[in-house]
Structure 1
Amino acid sequence: MATTIIGKLRNRTFFTFESLNKAIYIELNKLNNEEFQKREGSRKSVYMDEEKDFMNPLPEHPFELSEWKMATVQMNYHIQVEKMNYSTPYEYVGKRVEVKLTKDTVTVYYKKNQICQHKRLYGHRNQYSTNEAHMPKNHQLFQWNKERFMNWAATIGPSTVELINLMFSRYKVEEQAYKGCLSILKLSDKYSQARLENACKLALSRLSNPTYKNIKLILESGQDEAKQEPENAINKEDTTYAFTRGTEYYGGKK
């Protein structure tokens, strides 16, 4: 059938898919209604009389290719897939979930049961798709909240407090800041509270919006431990080896 239709259209030129599909539809109808040579009827009459009643309905939605991934629900009740963040009901924090990715949707399953679905995000990294229904009704009853992070930062130092507060100010939804804040504060376990405080202070003096990566780089490179020269030492001229001419050189008297 395909070969017959292609043969009839082979010498025609089409500039749009719409015009091509229209031509194919016309030829297909002709072919389906054409009488058989060795038996009665046509392809269409055979379908209507013998096959139609046994046909199943077509799927409601066309088939879509999908990709499956595993993810862990973070403390901010979001999962991260393909560098994007999607919320799940907060009861699933810490659980491993299955994620089905199609061109347009992200569907999350726990133990084969669908728990949520989002429109897939595209564009710059680290965007958030947050459903308010997934948020805990009382943040104080939730294991993590802004107050807890701020209290933790206060045990380290004022620069750390300033940085953590800055992290929260970047997001409309409080929980979106949890991952970054925890990553920063946990650096004190490896590098000590004193070094983390110095790194935060240094980052705030150099950058308008320091991130976890900036703080980690400062600590890894030891910039927080480098001694800073006092300003008066930088501005003061070193005259140790300067050659000083006397008043005689300029015609002055002894």
Structure 2
Amino acid sequence: MSITQSIEVAGWDTRLCSQKPGIPRTAGIIRTQGARGDGGIIHHELQTNKHVTLQLLWEEYREKNPDGYRYSRFCELYRGWLLAQECVLRHPHRAGEKLFVDYAGDTIPVHNATTGEVTPAAIFIAVLGASSYTYAEATWTQGLADWIGSHLRTFEFLGGVPDIVVPDNLKSGVTKACRYEPSVNRTYEEMASHCGVAVVPTRPRKPRDKAKVEAGVLVVERWILAALRKRKFFSLAEVNQAIQELLVRLNDRPFRRREGSRRSLFESLDKPALRALPTQRYEYGDWETHRVNIDYHVAFDHHWYSVPYQLTQQEVEVRATAATVEIFHRGLRVASHARSQVPHDATTVNDHRPKAHQRHLEWTPSRLVDWAKTIGPATAELFDRIMAGKRHPEQGYRSCLGILRLSKQYTTQRVEAAARRAIALRACSYQSIKSILECHLDSQAIEPAAEPKPPLNHPNIRGSEYFDTGEEPTDQGK
């Protein structure tokens, strides 16, 4: 049927359209129920193709009817036809364009079979604008993770994604409500971008903006929640299974004031217009803003993750998924780590450290001893004794490195001789080696240790045998 024929059948020109029996005329427009043989054709053209406008339809009409209505009258008649549909077509929606989302005011109690504790489950509801096709599910919370997960499951239920998602100003999705430029949560915005969907929140205190989802909430509460009011649930999965069973019946239920059902309109209007789902499912991630600590690490969930040391004291953004932690600076990713579940620990990439710190961490007891062996065996033994004398070997690193530096100032032969003297004197330290070298004591012969003197033998000196017998002392030997 051509546009001209649609206009004629719509009854907009009483000279071209005969009176339909049983249907009264009002202001030159036939009041109908939106069937395809009337003004519903014009409305269907606008719904099914987002590029079709009333201007285009009017021009096509005028091509066949040069003496037909002017554009202003054409639009006036169309608006009148919409009003004639009462609440059925109050807000025209293009096919596949908008998905309205919100939570129901009521909840469903879930019982713990062991403790008897009752937890209320929130009810997420999504309604397509053109067909009123509805999706609903229960979640434990209305938090961000559940909010994002419900969107993803809705898209999968529909088998595609719409052009626009229209949420209410829930804090999980909208961080700052504003009539002109609302601020959308970073994770929510990222999910929408991944799926190719625009997020357009409703205007604050504008109930008409969310009339579609409010009607959907009311329908779900009446036909699903009310039907489940006497059932006792013991798990969230059990609740969702019951909701899905009733959801099929709801979408198949015939409309009262128009032909078809939510499902039939979805199949003919919304489904063909939906865009394909992304090839990879969006992976949920939390975003946080942090300032890099002086040790070039950022704290997230009680764990520390490194960034390049040049970003110390800079503000960065952290995105954390279940498996990874990514860190961004001015929109560029500067670090990526596997997420750790170990609290109060650190995950560090060696390249993030300054060169001096990298060299410091390359020091190990065995490596220091190997360096000392290039000077001589006495120096290697000295290093072993220095580190063994500390509670932790790392406490002796600086002493050993200081001695290695002395080998650049003095010959290796002198340092080796100084090490032998220090070992003989049991003065194993950097300061001892330095003093020996400065005082040229390394060139002096090492005096052999004096042999111990034999023990004194005297009547007044009691041996261990005396204490073993327990005898009382006598006057003998005085």
**TM-score for both structures, normalised by structure 1:** 0.47
Give the structure with higher Rg (CA). 2
**TM-score for both structures, normalised by structure 2:** 0.27
